[in-house]
Amino acid sequence: MSRAAFLLGAGRRHAFGWVGRAVLLLCLGGLVRPAGAQELPRRAPDLDRLTQELFAEIQSDQVPYEDLYETLLQYYQTPINLNAAGREELRALLLLSEAQISSLLKHRTDTGPLLSLYELQAVPGWDQRTIYRVLPFVTVQADDPNRARGPLWQRIRQEANNALFVRYERVLQARKGYTAADTFQGRPTSRYLGSPDKLLVRYRVSHAHDFSLGFAAEKDAGEAFAWRPRQGQYGADFWSAHFFLQERGRLKALALGDYQLQFGQGLLLSSGLAVGKGAETITSLRRSSVGVRPYSALLENTFFRGAAATYQLSSRWEATAFASHKRVDANLQQRTDSLTQYDEFGSSLLYTGFHRTAAELADRHALQESVAGGNLGYLSHDGNLALGFTAVGTHYGTPLLKRAEPYNRFEFSGQNKLALGAHYSYVWRNLLLFGEVARTTGGGLGGLNGLLASLGPRIDAAVLLRHYDVNFHTIYGNALSENSRNINESGLYLGLKVRPMVRWELSAYFDQFWFPWLRYRVGAPSRGNDALLRLAFTPAKTSLLYAQYRVRLKPRDLSSSLGRPVPLPGQQLRHSLLVYYDTQPTPRLGLRTRLQASRLRDDDNLPWRSGYALSQDASVQVARRVQLTARYAVFDADDYDTRQYLFEQDVLYAVSIPALYGQGTRAYAITQVTLNKHFTFWLRYADTHYRHQTTVGSGLEEIQGNARSEIKLQMRYKL
């Protein structure tokens, strides 16, 4: 009998209890050792494969992959204790179905705490593929690991989970933005004010459900390294720091410095793992109320700066309060006519985080933003019902007023806005009902309601209905939508996942959406749809093969009518195909092959345009402390609309997803060297060659020639 079958039988015979399971596990060839060493050896997460398998979209630059990677790495460094985690914490992983979560919680109730990660094989619904996915992010501990560890300062000083990162990046070719300024109509043209070097320093020390302390400093390429206290710049252009405490009696969380918040379905407050529509058609649809989280990523606009705390009012009620004040990038303008009601106003908030030219520097931290609010949450005794009420108030030091364009008619204007919302989730048998509704200043309503259902051991389904008014305004919300913001949209999402046999999985979704008002580049109310079908086969736990087809019909003004006073709306139809194979033929060798292609046209009377990319990756463990990774890819795309996004492996904590169009090749190589338990080094070189081109890029990024090469070096020092 196999070990899995043996354990499965043991899991069903609850009469054995804790002692019986311990004896059974100890009989498995000494797999479980006493005390705190009863876990499987933890492996580093393969974030590239995980992204490909669960969250990858064929053509998308809207998903904050850096925040996604950062969140998954946080779970790796501070893994979830499966003996203590509740539904919301398990949902936050986005790797488990609701039936699997319920099955684990029932197993804990019936048989007591898990004795080892090997015991997951005895949990109904937890197949080998699921266990292999979650292993890097979970642990099994019998009691509170922070008990009797001494004072906080001593725990921080003795913590082994700490690291200092230093990274350097540069494009090797000369770009126009770094050359001497020429003149145009008697005036010098714009140039970057800083060097072409990108620098990063980051340190963090943390322990699960105890504390997190860290800081980060970053200078982007083109930004000046300067000391300008009056402008809020102290050397590097961007600084971030946080101090985070958890589980101090009734004080469940305390964050000082930079932090994120996530409650309900992310309609008002969303952070971290918000991946939208993608290859995972079920589990990523619902969000989890993880509350306050420390922020250590490098995105310069997705966090709060100030303080937040969560306090347990009683066994069933928790309250969270937060306050944030920071300066954000904005384009400020002066009144030019009597029709404008403000002497000075911000026409737009800017989210690129770049401050390289004089114009970009003028917009840096130009607007003061103050945000405060809270959440009151209720959790039933059995954990099946969760309710929450959220309030978020925002004040800007300078009024906001969008440009006088027809599609901006219902956009927010002014200095103050208030948003109130309520959210819920309820588990009944194999069903999960969830949703959130909110109202913002001006009367705009937004809401979504969803249902996840396990229709059988091998079938999962999802339904989500959403509606966001044209005057619904939220800055830090990011609920599921087709738009980049939750505004001016209604939609119906249907998802399905079927496992017809072992190792096979079929997943699909269909999303119908409507836009009741005008949008940018869409001069009339419109509608569209989006559908995906994926077939995946897992020959072994180290191999994955899937084929994915996606079709999108999205409204867009016809390019031939852009000169008209009122452009003619049309429909852009895009077909996309993706085939991906990942295998590890030997313990030291990994191979990945990816073929993707897309075909689109803007109207029935216009010609089709297309693009494709083919890549081959190889990863080799050449020695115990040395690993090499390389890729060679070819691409051919007619224009920017048919560009191909290729996920690339990178140094730890870095993300690379270049958009390739034109004709050419792209290759990169990464060398990772672990000198000892303290020092690890990465060296990455990437090169893109274009055919039939004499320049690469445009504007200040233009390169004379047909190649663009990048180098990246990183050092990690563990104290």
Instruction: Tell me if 98 is assigned to some domain.
Output: yes
Q: Structure tokens of 108?
A: 């804990």
Angstrom distances, CA of residue 440 to CA of 54, 437, 487 = 33, 10, 11
Q: Is the predicted pLDDT of residue 48 greater than 80, yes or no?
A: no
| Mean pLDDT along residues 540-549 | 89
Position 65 scores a pLDDT of 66
Q: Is the predicted pLDDT of residue 376 greater than 90, yes or no?
A: yes
Q: Is the predicted pLDDT of residue 437 greater than 90, yes or no?
A: yes
Q: Is the predicted pLDDT of residue 384 greater than 70, yes or no?
A: yes
pTM of this structure: 0.88
Main-chain dihedrals φ then ψ at residue 336, nearest 5 degrees: -115, -10
Position 375 scores a pLDDT of 97
Q: Is the predicted pLDDT of residue 481 greater than 80, yes or no?
A: yes
Instruction: Say how far apart CA 668 and CA 240 lie, in whole Å.
Output: 30
The DSSP call for residue 53 is I
User: Among residues 179, 223, 226, 234, which one has the least CA distance to residue 199?
Assistant: 223
Instruction: Tell me if 125 is assigned to some domain.
Output: yes
Q: Is the predicted pLDDT of residue 49 greater than 60, yes or no?
A: yes
- For residues 37 and 281, which has the higher predicted lDDT (pLDDT)? 281
Q: Is the predicted pLDDT of residue 533 greater than 50, yes or no?
A: yes
pLDDT, tens only, 207-262: 888 899 999 999 999 999 999 888 888 999 999 999 999 988 899 999 999 999 99
User: Among residues 470, 464, 532, which one has the least CA distance to residue 493?
Assistant: 464
Instruction: Say how far apart CA 265 and CA 386 lie, in whole Å.
Output: 12
User: Among residues 72, 79, 5, which one has the least CA distance to residue 41?
Assistant: 79
Position 391 scores a pLDDT of 97
For the chain, percent of residues with pLDDT exceeding 70: 86
Instruction: Tell me if 120 is assigned to some domain.
Output: yes
Half-sphere exposure of 715 (CA within 13 A, CB side): 10
470, 476, 477, 478 alpha-carbon torsion, rounded to 10°:
110
**Helix segments in 237-278, DSSP class H:** none
Number of domains in the chain: 1
Instruction: Tell me if 516 is assigned to some domain.
Output: no
Q: What are 711's strand-pairing partners? A: 170, 685
pLDDT, tens only, 287-301: 888 899 999 888 888
User: In a 3-state reduction of DSSP, which class is residue 50?
Assistant: helix
Instruction: Say how far apart CA 153 and CA 162 lie, in whole Å.
Output: 14
Mean pLDDT of the chain: 86
Main-chain dihedrals φ then ψ at residue 640, nearest 5 degrees: -65, -35
Instruction: Tell me if 52 is assigned to some domain.
Output: yes
Position 557 scores a pLDDT of 84
Domain that holds residue 95: 3-61+79-139
Q: Structure tokens of 496?
A: 């399905």
Left, alpha or beta for 306 (phi > 0: left; psi -120 to 50: alpha)? left
Instruction: Tell me if 33 is assigned to some domain.
Output: yes
Position 504 scores a pLDDT of 93
Instruction: Tell me if 12 is assigned to some domain.
Output: yes
Position 393 scores a pLDDT of 97
Instruction: Tell me if 555 is assigned to some domain.
Output: no
Q: Is the predicted pLDDT of residue 41 greater than 80, yes or no?
A: no
